[in-house]
Structure formats: structure tokens, C-alpha cells
A and B are shown apart, each in its own frame.
Chain A
Amino acid sequence: MSWAWVVVIVLVLLVFGLYLSMTAGRLDRLHQRIDTSVLALDALLLRRSAVALELATSGVMDPASAIVVAEAAHGARTAGENDNLARAGAESALTQALVIALGEPEELALIRGTESGSELLAELDAACRRVELGRRFLNDAVRACRAVRSQTLVRTLRLAGHAPWPQSWEMDDSVPDGLVTR
């Protein structure tokens, strides 16, 4: 009788331990996914500002629009390296500058009329879309990780260790209307 109880208790403990270890592993993977998503988004944002800067200095835009875009792109590239809030603000400002500067159909037609201009617009379009995707993937990972971390068991047993609470990346990443050609 007591022998059977011992087996049951050991089994329950075993299953419980297995569950905890699996959850910890899952959390670890989720944190890793966030880290790689952050790195990817960082690269995508840098790519976008680089193309924007190239477009601004290529002489295909009127100089006033070009300076607005160049200043915003520079701002995005130099904004707080360890300050995500400042960085997101500067990246949103670049989005706004692009939306405004490329907002007129006439302007786009002129830029497209040149060879380098149409190439750069296509590159910018691709870069903007990838930023949109990269941010969505990052925020997906953050949401999934937060869901696991807010479970009572995970919180009480501190399964996440010292990992900081995952932060979503909030910015305006709309693709300028005019870029959409497809």
C-alpha cells in the first residue's frame, strides 16, 4: 500500500519537475528569440536610414525635401544607443519625414524619372517593409514571452531568473504611401 503511494508521489514530482524544466527552457528560448529579433530590427533600421540618407544625397529630390530626410536619417542613426525610447522616437521621426517628403505624387514621379532615383525608391520600399516586419516579429516574441512570464508559477518560482521584463518596440513604421507600387 505505502509502496504504491511512494511510486505515485515520485511520479508526480517527476512530472512537475519536468514541467518546470520545460517551462524554463521555453522561457530561455523566448528570450533568445527576443534578442535575435532586436538585433535583426537594429540592422533593418540601420539599413533603412542608410538608404534614406543615400536617397537624400543623390540629388534626385529637391534640396529642401532632401535636407528634411537627411537630417531625420542622421537623427535616427545617432539617437541614443542604449536608450530605446529615444531611438524609437528618432526612427518614428524618420518615418514621418519620409511620409511627408515622398507624399506628393509629382515628387515621386520626378524621382522615379531618373535611373538612380527609381532604384533607390525600390530599395527604400524594401527597407521600410522589412522594418515593419522586423518590428512585428520582435513584438510577437515579446508578447509570447510576457504571457509565459506572467503565469503565477513562473512568477513565484522566478523561473525567468534575472532577465529583464521584455519591452515591445513602439514606433511609427508606416511605409510612405507613394512607395507602394505593387
Chain B
Amino acid sequence: MKIGLVCPYAWDAPGGVRSHVADLAQTLIARGHEVSVLAPIEEADDVPDWIVDGGSPVSVPYNGSVAKLSFGVKATGRVRRWIRDGNFDVLHVHEPLAPSLSLLACWVGRGPIVATWHSSSERSRMLSASFYIAQTAMEKVTARIAVSEDARRFLVGHLGGDAVLIPNGVRVSDFITDERLPEFDPSRPSMVFLGRMDEPRKGLDVLVAALPAIVEGVPDVQVVIVGPGDIEEQRESLDPSVRDNVVYLGRVSDSDKARAFASADIYVAPHTGGESFGIVLAEAMAASTAVLASDLPAFRNVLADGTAGRLFATGDSTALAQAAVELLTDSSARTELVLAGRDRVMDFDWEHVVDDVLAVYDSVTVNGEHVTEDLRGQLVGRLMGRG
């Protein structure tokens, strides 16, 4: 099958949507499909040949922050050419309402179009004006996919209709590793935190408040904090009694992330909100690490109601400390969670998830129509006299 995937955000910048598209593309290619990914690219070197440059992204204020997007007439021209040359059986756009290549692809393409909705948080609250503008493009989407129940609710609430729920995938095999990070002392029990230090919703504060009680229960515990942020400032905020137990690694590569999970006895996810799926929990499970997470709906779902990982009351440092000490001192409970987690994560393995995506592709391509350019009712069409 010839598949055209569109990613609206800059390929060079790390992000959930970008990794989703990359993983999906790789899994599809491994299955023998012909895949082309269109994405904004800042620096064209070092990208695989299945990625097509949709134009260099510009930083624009969007949705309360600054996003790197590609839009405008030049970008529209590139999308048009990519669709024309690609002769795809199916066009699969991601985050179609972001003002970037995905929306443009819906606008200039016609035929079997699949759209996947990722965001759900209150941050992605949109104006009715934007929906009005995007209406023509959205009406051409044949099948809609949501990656989480929240994303689905957002989509249904704003656009009506329905969407198929296909969760985010994890490349489980990428997280299975025997290598350990040298920063971890294998003779000591350890726990790892992952995420931006200065993003309150990642919940580092909740963990920091729990540390004195954890250290009291398990004096030789090693707590490893992974993620970008001001390390000095963060260290200052620690209780003096726990400073020797905490190690900071800063930002790490994807492969070191897998090693960090594998090196730790527990992965702790003290998030306080803003998570629509919790992919990082699935990654930790794939790396055979026991998961201790706050009781958010998304996390409860990923952890199969607490059977594949331990849950504690969201934002409650005392509950976190108690559960952490229990797990750190009980290796059989940890092993039980690791085994259940490894089993559970297979539900999120891309190898499995991609079957659901392919089923959607099949259902929209039954009559053999290809993706073509659409010039009806558009400016370019009007100007070219074809309107």
C-alpha cells in the first residue's frame, strides 16, 4: 500500500506527535508498505529518505505557546506537489487542526483521507473561528482516529460525529535492553523520575515532598531525576537530609532513556494532570521496570486499573512515599508488577497497534480510489479557472 503520512510539527523538535508519526512510519515500512512522511524540516541533513521536506518551519505564537509550523502559499505548493507525485492509496494526517501541513494536506487533497487527533488538554481549546476556517478541509476527512478517550471527547464535542479509538503505540523492542547506566549503583535500590523539572504537571514537586519519608524508610535509596531543567535550582529546593540520595542526569537520548528505565527498580510518575495517554508509563513497562504512578484516569487505564503498576492518590506525597517504600523493600511485589507490566504493554506495542491502523486504511480504500489534488472551490482553483 502507498501511504502518505503528514506531521504538522517540525521534525527536528522532539514531541509526542512527531514520535508517533516516526514510529508508525517505521512499523509500516517494516511491514512492507511504501511510506512517505511529509513534515516541516529545519535542517535537511540526516533524515531518512522516506521523509519529505514540507518547508522550513516558522515559530509562531499558537495556542498559548510558540509552535514550529509550516504554512503559507509555498508550503501549500509543496503539499500539492507531494500529493500529486506520491499517488498515495491513503493519506494519513496527524493533528489536522494545527495550522500546518496536515490541515493544508486535507485542504488540497481528495480521496481516502484518515486523520488522527492527538491533543485533548484544555490548552487545545480552539476558537469557533478556527473550526469555521478549517471546516472545508475537515469535511474531506473520511475516517477519524483519536489516540485517547480524552482526545476523542474533545473531537466529538467540537466537531460532532465519532472517531475510532486507537491508542498510542510503543516500540516495545526499543526499550528492551540489558545495558545499565553507570550513574546507577546496582547495589542500591533505585527509583527514576522522567520529565521537565519546571513543568508542574509532571509532578516533580510531589516527589520532592515525599523524599524525606522515602529516605527514612529506605536510607540507601538512589533517586535519579532525568529531564531538562535548572539542576542547581532544583537541588537547592531539596531537603538537606536527602541531597546525597538524588542524582540528576539532565536531558538524555532515547536509548539512554531506555537504559535509565532498565537500571531503576521503580519508575515513578507523579504527574498531576495534562496527560492524555501516558506513553512514558508504557515505555517503562516495556523496559521491565515497576511503575508507581498517580491515579489519573489515563494512567489508571494504561496500568489496567492498577494491576500492571501501583497507583497512588494524585498529588499526595504521603501516599507516594508509603507506596515507594513498600515497593522498594519488597522485591517479589516488584517482580509481580514487572511481569504484569510486560504483559500489559504488548497491548500498546506498535506491532499490534498498527493492525488497527491498517484496518482503518483498508476500510477507506475499498473502492480503490487514489489520493489526488483537489482544486474545487479553492483560491488556486478559482485563479486557474477551474473553480
- Which A residues lie at the B interface, using CB under 8 A? 53, 56-57, 59-60, 62-68, 70-72, 74-75, 93, 96-97, 100-101, 103-104, 106-107, 110, 113-114
Beyond the given pairs A62-B72, A70-B127, A100-B60, 6 more chain A to chain B contacts, judged by CB atoms under 8 angstroms and listed by A's residue number, are: A57-B132, A62-B71, A64-B69, A66-B133, A67-B134, A68-B69
| Chain B residues, Cβ within 8 Å of A64 | 69-72, 75-76, 99-101, 103-104
| Chain A residues, Cβ within 8 Å of B130 | 67, 70-71
**In chain B, residues 360-387, which have Cβ atoms closer than 8 Å to a Cβ of chain A?**
379-380, 382-383
B60 touches A110 (CB 8 A): no
Interface of chain A: mostly helix, strand, loop or mixed? helix
| Chain B residues, Cβ within 8 Å of A56 | 129, 133
B58 touches A100 (CB 8 A): yes
Interface of chain B: mostly helix, strand, loop or mixed? helix
A97 to B100, CA, bound (A): 13
Of all chain B residues, which has the CB nearest A73? Answer: B129
Check A70/B74 contact, CB under 8 A, given A64-B69, A96-B61, A97-B60.
Answer: no
Q: Which of A59, A67, A75 is B103 in contact with, Cβ under 8 Å? A: A67
Q: How large is the interface on B (under 10, 10 to 19, 20 to 34, 35 or more residues)?
A: 20 to 34
Of all chain A residues, which has the CB nearest B61? Answer: A93
Offer 19 A-B interface pairs, CB within 8 angstroms, sorted by A.
A53-B129, A57-B132, A62-B71, A63-B136, A64-B69, A64-B75, A64-B99, A64-B103, A65-B99, A66-B99, A67-B97, A67-B99, A70-B129, A71-B127, A93-B61, A96-B60, A97-B60, A100-B58, A106-B73
Tally of contacts, chain A with chain B, CB under 8 A: 96
Contact with A along B121-145 (1 / 0, CB 8 A): 0000011011011101100000000
Contact with A along B45-85 (1 / 0, CB 8 A): 00000000000001011111000011111111000000000
Is B107 positioned at the interface, with any CB of A under 8 Å from its CB? yes
A66 to B69, CA, bound (A): 13
A101 touches B137 (CB 8 A): no
A113 to B129, CA, bound (A): 23
A68 to B380, CA, bound (A): 20
Check A62/B129 contact, CB under 8 A, given A72-B61, A96-B61, A107-B73.
Answer: no
A63 touches B129 (CB 8 A): no
Q: Which of A62, A74, A93 is B104 in contact with, Cβ under 8 Å? A: A62
Pairs A-B, 5 closest by C-beta atoms:
A64-B71, A67-B99, A93-B61, A64-B99, A106-B73
- The distance from the CB of B160 to the nearest CB of chain A, in whole angstroms, is 19
- The distance from the CB of A125 to the nearest CB of chain B, in whole angstroms, is 19
A101 touches B73 (CB 8 A): no
| Chain B residues, Cβ within 8 Å of A96 | 60-61
A60 to B379, CA, bound (A): 7
